[in-house]
Amino acid sequence: MKAVKIIPSKSFRKAVLLLCLLPYNVGGVMALESQSLWNVPINGFVLPIFNMAGQTIWEVRGHSAIMVEDNLLCIKNMKLRCFTEEENPQEIFFAISNTAFVVPQTNSVSGNFEIKIFGQNFYASAHTWEFSGNEKKIIAKNRVKVFLDCNLEGCSP
């Protein structure tokens, strides 16, 4: 086996300095990469939310999603589904809207565009709305329409 002698030179010192500074530069590069993710569409977006047992309790999907701020996603062609937390989960309702905004840290979805909400015995629509994932309910605020498909004795509040 031959021994290799390394002769320090200016280029060698530059390479060592570069390797020493690399970990510090990675953070800067990663920050630039995360900023460059803004306004880049994510096609086929899906965000499922799980309970402690690992069941999906609600999910939001979209044709595409764009990060518009640190904690705000704009979803195009949104579909929101909400489920019961039983052994065999059932869909409580689903809703669709052309555009919606998701705040993952607060488990909320909202919009100023029409939403159509479909449940087992009802259909509703609104133009300004908020969904609370923690409470699993939609608060309709503007131009609200509700259609019930049941007799009043068969409906539960």
Residue 156, number of CB atoms within 10 A of its CB: 6
CA 18/CA 12 separation, integer angstroms? 10
**Cβ–Cβ under 8 Å, residues 49 and 134:** no
Q: What is the 3-state secondary structure (H, E, C) of 29-79?
A: HHHHHHHHCCCCCEEEEEEEEECCCCCEEEEEEEEEEEEEECCEEEEEEEE
User: Domains in the chain, please, with CATH?
Assistant: 9-38 (no CATH), 42-148 (2.60.450.10)
User: Which helix (DSSP H) or strand (DSSP E) does residue 23 occupy?
Assistant: helix 10-36
CA 107/CA 135 separation, integer angstroms? 10
For each of the chain's 157 residues, which pLDDT tens digit applies?
444 344 444 443 433 333 333 333 333 333 434 455 566 788 998 989 888 888 899 999 999 999 888 888 899 999 999 999 888 889 999 999 999 999 988 889 999 999 999 998 889 999 999 999 888 889 888 888 888 876 656 555 5
The single residue listed with the structure tokens 């509040």 is 157
- The distance in angstroms from the start CA to the end CA of the chain is 84
CA 44/CA 19 separation, integer angstroms? 39
The single residue listed with the structure tokens 């019930």 is 148
